[in-house]
Amino acid sequence: MTRDLFARHRAVLPDWLALYYEDPLEITHGEGRHVWDAAGHKYLDFFGGILTTMTAHALPEVTKAVAEQAGRIIHSSTLYLNRPMVELAERVAQLSGIPDARVFFTTSGTEANDTALLLATAHRRSNTILAMRNSYHGRSFSSVGITGNRSWSPTSLSPLQTLYVHGGVRTRGPYADLDDRDFIDACVADLKDLLGHTRAPAALIAEPVQGVGGFTSPPDGLYAAFREVLHERGILWIADEVQTGWGRTGEHFWGWQAHGRNGPPDIVTFAKGIGNGMSIGGVVARAEIMNCLDANSISTFGGTQVTMAAGLANLSYLLEHDLQGNARRVGGLLIERLRAVAAQVPHVREVRGRGLMIGVELTRPGTDEAAPEAASAVLEEARAGGLLVGKGGGHSTSVLRIAPPMSLTVAEAEEGAAILERALRSI
């Protein structure tokens, strides 16, 4: 049955639409932190639909809210008042930390970043954008143009002039051997030098933890230091929180808060986990930035009632059950467990991350050379053992990406670590 579906998939969908596994997997249903495939096999899910199933599969509070809202009205567009959209916007604005915040809802993180770029370039009257090397911001024309990861950027054409800045990857590149303070100083010096050779950019866009890039991050405080330089020149700071938001990193509700000594970003983008699988993205910005557009605009599907109902129920569950604290506690245990395993596996270069956002980078033993074939082998072995994980990385897809639903239990973390240990030892 699955092979037939795979053949049909290949006959009608693009060749560049990536699928995991030599024998692709059809997931038919899920519950909690587990999913089942079409053959009835059960898997512990450590990737959550690319960090999107944030709380749990088939979370009763969310499915009930969706069903009840669908029974009333599913959609009307932004041309009409929408109570669930207003209610979720109020909560997101308050949680954002941005003063006098306005919220615009989209259907994806890509569209959210598109909107942020539109706002920044219109507000600043500049089409120059600063972005981080190894970054990923989506698959639209403008977001591909600011993506600093070659594996996910199929064209060099762009409506924007993009300049790439050092700092998103701590353990590779020309400053990798410096201590944290000197690393930050070197990156700031590089930023200042870059700004001396270009017209004033509109904004810097940065993921606090680079998601597709392999869960890499700079030392805490780098973006605060960047902010000082940017603020002096009126350049905006856009925090791409599509993967880091809502407490996943454990230590903070937003990833930018690890760099927040100078206050919040000018613009925050979000998506993925807030809908727990429903299509929600969005932008939060100060009113003067959000309201700078001088043309009409609407969204047909952004903020539709049924997705907003899901977002409200999901956010309430996350806050009431302190899933941020759970991500910190269980994620900390999982990271330490994986580091103990990695010390005995020559292919593992580094285990990094925070909270339930963990990367395991694989290289050829004794070198810094990426080992994508090893990552693929571990992915297959983990699946065979009943565990689903993801892949990523800037130096080819050689990083295992681990991001389970944030309700993960200690027992499930230990179970997943044991499966992953066997898979890693198999290479």
| 364 shares a domain with 311 | no
Looking at residue 152, its pLDDT comes to: 83
CA triple 60-62-66, angle to 5 deg:
115
Averaged over 185-195, what is the pLDDT?
97
Domain end: 275, 293, 320, which one?
A: 320
| 226 shares a domain with 299 | yes
| 247 shares a domain with 362 | no
Looking at residue 153, its pLDDT comes to: 87
| 189 shares a domain with 167 | yes
Reduce the secondary structure of 14-80 to three states and give it as a string.
Answer: CCCCCCCCCCCCCEEEEEECEEEECCCCEEEECCHHHHCCCCCECCHHHHHHHHHHHHHCCCCCCCC
**At residue 12, does pLDDT exceed 70?**
yes
Mean of the per-residue pLDDT values of the chain = 96
| 122 shares a domain with 110 | yes
Looking at residue 104, its pLDDT comes to: 98
Quote the CA–CA distance of 30 and 45 in Å, as a whole number. Answer: 9
Domain end: 287, 320, 353, which one?
A: 320
| 282 shares a domain with 354 | no
Residue in the structure block whose two tokens are 């029974």: 71
Strand 281-286: give its sheet, edge to edge: 101-106, 281-286, 267-270, 236-240, 203-206, 128-132, 161-165
Averaged over 206-211, what is the pLDDT?
97
Quote the CA–CA distance of 205 and 62 in Å, as a whole number. Answer: 31
**For the segment 55-72, what is each residue's pLDDT rounded down to a tens digit?**
999 999 999 999 999 999
| Beta bridge partner(s), residue 44 | 34, 387
Looking at residue 100, its pLDDT comes to: 97
Averaged over 146-173, what is the pLDDT?
91
**At residue 396, does pLDDT exceed 80?**
no
List % helix, strand, coil for the chain (3-state, nearest 5): 40, 20, 40
Quote the CA–CA distance of 427 and 416 in Å, as a whole number. Answer: 18
Q: How many residues does the chain have?
A: 427
Give the pairing type, strands 128-132 and 203-206. Answer: parallel
Can you give the CATH number for the domain in which 271 is found? 3.40.640.10
Domain end: 320, 337, 372, which one?
A: 320
**At residue 284, does pLDDT exceed 80?**
yes
| 169 shares a domain with 21 | no
Looking at residue 107, its pLDDT comes to: 97
Looking at residue 133, its pLDDT comes to: 95
Contacts 24+ apart (CB under 8 A), 320-327: 321/407, 323/54, 323/55, 323/247, 323/406, 323/407, 324/246, 324/247, 324/248, 324/250, 324/253, 324/355, 324/406, 325/250, 326/406, 326/407, 326/408, 327/247, 327/248, 327/249, 327/250, 327/355, 327/356, 327/406
Residue 235 makes CB contacts below 8 A (sequence gap 6+) with 124, 130, 200, 201, 202, 203, 204
Quote the CA–CA distance of 401 and 211 in Å, as a whole number. Answer: 8
Residue type, position 186, single letter: A
Quote the CA–CA distance of 145 and 136 in Å, as a whole number. Answer: 10
Quote the CA–CA distance of 78 and 108 in Å, as a whole number. Answer: 16
Q: Is the pTM of this model over 0.85?
A: yes
**DSSP 3-state of 281:** strand
**At residue 395, does pLDDT exceed 90?**
no
| 251 shares a domain with 379 | no
Predicted confidence band at 89 (pLDDT cuts at 50, 70, 90)?
very high
| 386 shares a domain with 256 | no
Quote the CA–CA distance of 201 and 195 in Å, as a whole number. Answer: 8
Domain count for the chain: 2
Looking at residue 157, its pLDDT comes to: 86
Residue in the structure block whose two tokens are 């960047």: 226
- CA dihedral over 296, 85, 30, 253, signed as positive or negative: positive
| 385 shares a domain with 303 | no
Report percent pLDDT > 90 for the chain.
94
Can you give the CATH number for the domain in which 38 is found? 3.90.1150.10
Averaged over 334-353, what is the pLDDT?
96
**For the segment 213-256, what is each residue's pLDDT rounded down to a tens digit?**
999 999 999 999 999 999 999 999 999 999 999 999 999 999 99
Reduce the secondary structure of 310-367 to three states and give it as a string.
Answer: HHHHHHHHHHHCCHHHHHHHHHHHHHHHHHHHHCCCCCEEEEEECCCCEEEEEECCCC
* Domain range enclosing 119: 63-320
**For the segment 288-303, what is each residue's pLDDT rounded down to a tens digit?**
999 999 999 999 999 9
Quote the CA–CA distance of 279 and 98 in Å, as a whole number. Answer: 24
Predicted confidence band at 1 (pLDDT cuts at 50, 70, 90)?
low
